[in-house]
Amino acid sequence: MCDVKNILLCGVGGQGTILASKILSTCLVDAGYDVKMSEIHGMAQRGGSVTTQVRYGKKVYSPIIGRGSADILVSFEAMEGLRYLDQLKPEGVVVVNDYKIPSSTILAGLEEYPEDAIEILKAKAKTKVIDAGEIASSLGNPKAMNIVLLGSLVKLMGLESLNWKSAIEKCVKPAFVELNIKALEEGMNAV
């Protein structure tokens, strides 16, 4: 029986996908897990896709999650969830931010945004919809939506007892530590 857990985070450049993954990986390493993380962020500064893969367990041999192997898919943007849905295992869970960022081809009028993206996700997988932007805005900074989503992931993976405060302190500037801790807690409460 494999004890390795596979997490795929996806979003659009500038949403903080990589920071959330670094906090997750830091906390898991500090807790004694073997952790492998990989990231793909080509064209991220132009609004392109950003994905990270985090695998953890007693011993992890590869940083890459095979197609159909992710235990959980955390999508920072609705359409990105559709784009990477094939990476999820049949019994896996999707956490999707109720948030839309039209791609450049959509803005140019070459394609249409799939307005029913979240409904499609719900039809194909067990899906938790989080309005992370609203939650982060209520905390005073909409940019913290990445940590709200991380909090939801933490709760769904049963990792609440790990030392998240320490991981956040290691990964963000001191001025933002308290905000991120609150965002993490609110994300846990949202699922």
Residue pLDDT tens, the chain, 191 long: 469 999 999 999 889 999 999 999 999 999 999 999 998 876 656 678 899 999 999 999 999 999 999 999 999 999 999 999 999 999 999 999 999 998 877 888 998 999 999 999 999 999 999 999 999 999 999 999 999 999 999 999 999 999 999 999 999 999 999 999 999 999 999 99
Question: Measured between alpha carbons, how far is residue 71 from residues 26, 66, 99, 112 in Å?
Answer: 19, 11, 22, 30
- Global pTM reads 0.94
Q: Give 50's strand partners.
A: 11
